[in-house]
Amino acid sequence: MNSSFYNGISGIKTHQFGLDVWSDNIANTNKVGFKSTIPEFATVFSTTMTNYLSTPTANDSGLGSRAYATHLQFSQGSITKTENKYDLAINGDGWFGVLNQNNEILFTRAGLFNRDSKGSLTDPSGNYLLGTLSGNIQNSVVINDPVKTIDLSTTTNQSKIDLPDNITMPAKPTTKIDFKATLNAKPTFEIDSDGTQKEIPKKENFNTTLINDDGTESFLNIKLTKVVPQLSDKTVWSAKAVLKDSDNNIISQKEGQLDFNSRGALISNTLSSINNNGSEVIINFGSIYDPSIANSGFDGLISYHGDSDKNFKQITGDGKKSGELLDYSIGKDGTIIASFDNGESIPVAKVALYHFQNNAGLEQSSPVYFKQTANSGTPQFFKDKNGKTINTATISSHSLEMANLSMGAALTELIIMQKAFDASAKSITTSDQMIQNAINMKK
């Protein structure tokens, strides 16, 4: 009977532990990034009722239970939308890495991030979000030839992510202008006063803007005039390029000639560049026709004898105006993009997404922060055979992952723990009554 007393006491203590665990889960049901836990129990020990080694273990008598451990549940929590673009949610496997004030790296699924007074991405506890910087910005100025993509470096070489308030993208001067167009060479005639039929030279105008070294603009006009009369085996257009500044002053001008064969392919060009304040800007009317090269002569200007409604013009250049930072955005792969008012954008950083061989081996240092242990293994990035980062999960901006707790299951477990607690208490009172009866028998 003494054993039943102690069994009841251990049951009360054990199920009190279970009540505490499930109550904690319920209390954190609205905590961002919270991972619920399941209480686990173990037998204290058991005694064998016989000395025969071959006796079945069913003859053992248990001596109570004890709290053994809590098992973390790493299932995906629900995703909720927010108004903050720096709120991040991981959909899939992975962890954010944050650097605390003691220069210790913690891992979390709670993506409550925002920019602090210095522009660094931090969580509400002041921990810095870790990632790989692009190196595209130096002293708040975009470097020449910035990289277009970012690949995560090693797990030990991540740093805090700084997003400056002001970034300037310097102007990129124009070095080349590409022209694509169909020139309608179909003859148009008029009748002279003497009754003679005479072909009218057709004209085509091209206007575009050039960006100078200092970010100002120059304006280029190219006028093409069909030379008449034409030779039977080709079409000739004279070309005149005039470059002016914003005050309409002529900077430079140049003339040339474009020849096309009977199929409309460009076979020669003597207007290939123009001077822009000391810098030569390439004028590309397309490649020269070569029968051994596919599409050559037809990838720029084409002279054809067709209808005017089929005319086509496209002008592109490599110059860009200077730009100032407009905003930041975050892609599904964790890349943070800076957008500028000149229409350009560049990657600034990429949020690191850590993985572990054994998530259950992580040490929980607080409800939403974890530390690596020997049991969890070292953090790693998933890479392909070429060493490029593989994205097995997506990161959603304007989103947060909520606790992965099922309220219905938690309340059910709470009731079970309560009933088991009551039953253990009842076993104590029952044992007490049995002892009392035994004492009364002597009387």
Helices 407-442 and 2-27: angle between axes, nearest 10 degrees: 160
Segments making up each domain of the chain, as ranges: 2-72+407-442, 79-170+323-401, 176-317
Task: Say if residues 306 and 241 touch (Cβ distance below 8 Å).
Answer: no
Cα distances (angstroms) measured from residue 260 to each of 8, 158, 265, 286, 314:
102, 58, 5, 12, 19
DSSP β-bridge partners for residue 87? none
Measured CA to CA, the distance from residue 134 to residue 338 in angstroms comes to 11
Q: Mind listing the pLDDT tens digit of every residue in the chain (443 residues)?
A: 566 666 767 777 787 887 888 888 888 888 888 888 888 777 776 554 455 555 555 555 566 777 777 778 888 898 999 999 999 999 999 999 999 999 999 999 999 999 999 999 999 999 999 999 999 999 999 998 899 999 998 999 999 999 999 999 999 999 999 999 999 888 888 887 777 888 888 899 999 999 998 889 999 999 999 998 877 788 999 999 999 999 999 999 999 999 999 889 999 999 999 999 888 999 999 999 999 999 999 999 998 876 545 568 899 999 889 999 999 999 999 999 999 999 899 999 999 999 999 998 999 888 899 999 999 999 999 988 888 888 889 999 999 999 888 788 878 878 887 787 777 777 777 776 777 776 777 66
How many whole angstroms from its chain centre is CA 160? 16
Measured CA to CA, the distance from residue 127 to residue 101 in angstroms comes to 7
What is the pTM assigned to this prediction? 0.75
Measured CA to CA, the distance from residue 208 to residue 219 in angstroms comes to 6
Q: What angle do CA 136, 342, 178 make, to 5 degrees?
A: 95
Nearest alpha-carbon partner for 90 in 105, 107, 106, 114: 107
Measured CA to CA, the distance from residue 435 to residue 8 in angstroms comes to 15
Nearest alpha-carbon partner for 90 in 106, 75, 69: 75
Q: Tell me which amino acid residue 234 is.
A: K
Cis-peptide, bond into residue 229, ω within 30° of zero:
yes
